[in-house]
Amino acid sequence: MINGKKVVVVLPAYNAANTLKKTIDEIPQPLVDELVLVDDASKDHTLEVAKSLGIKHIIKHDKNLGYGGNQKSCYNKAIEIGADIIIMLHPDYQYTPKLIPSMVELIDSGLYPVVFGSRILGKGAINGGMPWFKYVANRFLTLFQNILINQKLSEYHTGYRAYSDAVLRNIKYERNSDNFLFDNQVILQIFARGYEIGEITCPTRYDAQSSSINIVQSTRYALGVMWNSIEYFLFRLKLIKPSKY
């Protein structure tokens, strides 16, 4: 709780049994009021570990809905339990929970309604072991999007994000992809609604237990990002009006 605002961390989990406790142990207390974990039909013991850690709000998907589908369940539950500030944290320990106080403060102070932990500001991505091809693709796609969207984010592809509840209530995230494009589509919805996004430098870790997507998924994601950006560009010119905006 901060200044009477309820802080909820949501954990979109898939096969996170080996890293979940390590992630939870670093979440700052008593700043964070509630945890919400959504298990997207994991094949390991994620659900059992979550229960053993005493997480109050646990949702289990009987079939895998995808990264975006997982987040939809996360945000719906966070809003349902009255969250004022919502932080999406990957339970694979790729992002440090120690940044949560800074992200919460930026939202609570009114400076930004959305805050991203950026791996590109500073040398977080390189020092953390991001594969070079992912780094190059990240930089290219970010430049492409900044030009078409008329923004200046350092990256569009981080999975470490904090939102005021007002933002999530006022965008149509339920209409987004159930897969990895969800995150990128949320950004476009945020800008379409006139909100600003703040960024802070975020160290990151890449190891055998970090979640990742394969080359086929990465290619589809990149093409999807480019199409979404073109669609948003046409929306800015008032040539089209996609239903998700």
Task: Name the residue among 220, 240, 217, 218 with its Cα closest to residue 230.
Answer: 240
Residues paired with residue 11 on neighbouring β-strands, in sequence order? 37
Mean pLDDT of 11-39: 96
The confidence band for 133, taking pLDDT boundaries of 50, 70 and 90, is confident
Cα 40 to Cα 60: distance, rounded to the nearest angstrom: 6
Q: Virtual CA dihedral for 144, 207, 57, 61, nearest 10 degrees?
A: 80
Whether residue 129 has pLDDT greater than 80: no
In the chain, which ranges are continuous DSSP H helix? 20-25, 46-52, 67-80, 100-108, 124-127, 132-149, 165-170, 181-192, 215-236
For domain 7-236, which CATH number applies: 3.30.1330.10, 3.10.180.10, 3.90.550.10, 3.40.50.2300?
A: 3.90.550.10
CA distance 174 to 66: 13
Which letter does DSSP use for residue 111 in this model? S
Please give the Cα distance from 65 to 178 (Å, whole number). Answer: 7
Averaged pLDDT for residues 101-120: 96
- Residue 134: predicted pLDDT: 80
The DSSP secondary-structure symbol of 92 reads: T
Q: What share of the chain is helix, strand, coil (3-state, %, to 5)?
A: 40, 15, 40
- 184 versus 210: the higher-pLDDT residue is 184
What type of residue sits at position 27? I
Q: Which residues contact 27 (CB under 8 A, 6 or more apart)?
A: 9, 35, 89, 97, 100
Strand partners, 58: 37
Separation CA 78–CA 185 (nearest Å) = 20
Measured over the CA atoms of residue 110, residue 144, residue 121 and residue 99, the dihedral's sign is: positive
- pLDDT digits 0-9 by tens, 33-88: 999 999 999 999 999 999 999 999 999 999 999 999 999 999 999 999 999 999 99
Query: What would the pLDDT profile of 200-236 be if each residue is shown by its tens digit?
Result: 999 887 665 555 567 788 889 999 999 999 999 999 9
Q: Rg for the chain (alpha carbons), in Å?
A: 17
- Residue 126 in this model has a pLDDT that exceeds 90: no
